[in-house]
Structure 1
Amino acid sequence: MNNNCITTYTGRHIDPLHPDPDMICIEDIAHALSLICRGNGQVKTFFSVGQHCINCSREALARGYSRRVAFACLLHDASECYLSDVPRPFKKTLSGYKEQEKNLLDLIYQKYLGSPLNAKEEQLLKEIDDAMLWFDLTYLLNEPQEREAPEIHITIDYTVRAFEETEKEYLELYSFFTH
């Protein structure tokens, strides 16, 4: 095995800085994201990145956005499967990380969506991601928000779930988009 590679849940060896698209696997993504905690673990109860991505995707569908945008919402944190999660304030200072994350995410979008997102799709995704962040900060951290609650069209359930449930739901939603 190459020293620059990580071993994934399914036993693949992938170099996150020079990823081979054939090594990217939805089962690895679903599994890892169901086990990575939102907010760098600085929350009052466990809530996974996988749950967050599912909520973003369901919100996009509820808003009537295209299946492509809703699928992109499911995948928007998939790079964290290979690079881990970095809190937003710190991520802003890491130009090399941001570039690697974008390259990997574009590769994931290319593999599963056929192309990276365009500016309008990125904007729609960011609006949903920011709305979900408002609720995550409010309910997972009791963080007072300066702005009004954004309008959302789904009910967010912050119940702690077994990672297997989230992993299964993530894969079911993936299957919905690909079949």
Structure 2
Amino acid sequence: MCAELSSSSPRAWQRMLSGRRLNLLDPSPLDVELSDIAHGLARVARWNGQTIGDHAFSVAQHSVVVEDIALMLKPDLEIQWRMAVLLHDAPEYVVGDMISPFKNVMGGTYKAVEERLHHAIHQAFELPPELPKSIAKLAKKADIISAYLEAIHLAGFSKDEADKIFGRPAKVTNAQLDALAHLIVPLPTKAAQEAFLARFEELDQARKSELQAR
């Protein structure tokens, strides 16, 4: 029996609480469920959990904050792109939030897995596999602004360190940064999960209403 197990191919799929079995080597959009994404992201800690407070700052909460920032930067952002921004870290419900230094060590292997998952997730929610460059750039900027604020308010970075590593957010006022800082307060797991689900449902309903109005 042991020899039989050792000769078999390594398992490359993840069993989800929905009952889905997601293959990391060839992920199918049919195996992507919103409930699994929200559940997973609410339990994945940003900064490897090295943040202040009684709760970890989850990727689910970070995703909602990044969508808030993107909308602040571009108030006329289309609904589908707001949804894409919300899902910018969605693959982490499977692979976790690998910190940047470790991603650099892993190189292209991690990126390839992440991209396959991203494409499957986008297909599941009727988004294009690749974002327009302007939207990808906006999502990245919003992500960096959130990371900048998290670094200062949660992860123990000084402002000078954050300015050097992430860059002081351009074209964002101090008043806007202060307002955003109020969002960088870690929520309990259940609250973060519910916030992510609520934001997705809000955007999904708005998108359906837009389609019906055409």
TM-score with structure 2 setting the length: 0.76
Contact kept? 2:61, 2:187, Cα under 8 Å: no
Q: Which has the larger radius of gyration?
A: 2
1:123 and 1:158 mapped to 2: Cα distance? Answer: 22
Answer yes or no: is 1:62 the counterpart of 2:76.
Answer: no
Q: Aligned letter for 2:120?
A: L
Q: Aligned letter for 1:105?
A: H
Following superposition, the deviation at residue 19 of structure 1 comes to 0.8
SS at structure 2 position matched to 1:85: coil
Pairs within 5 Å for 1:101-112: 101-112=114-125
Pairs within 5 Å for 1:122-161: 122-144=136-158, 145-146=162-163, 147-149=167-169, 151=172, 152=176, 155=180, 156-161=182-187
1:26 maps to what in 2? 34
Percent identity between matched residues is 25
2:120 and 2:196 mapped to 1: Cα distance? Answer: 19
Count how many residue pairs are aligned between Structure 1 and Structure 2. Answer: 178
Answer yes or no: is 1:170 the counterpart of 2:187.
Answer: no
How big is the alpha-carbon RMSD for the aligned residues of Structure 1 and Structure 2? 1.9
Contact kept? 1:60, 1:69, Cα under 8 Å: no
SS at structure 2 position matched to 1:141: coil
Contact kept? 1:61, 1:67, Cα under 8 Å: no
Structure 2 residues not aligned, in runs of 5+: 1-9, 206-214
1:23 and 1:134 mapped to 2: Cα distance? Answer: 34
Residues 83-104 of structure 1, C-alpha deviations (whole Å, 9 max, x = no match): 1121012213321111110121
1:62 and 1:112 mapped to 2: Cα distance? Answer: 24
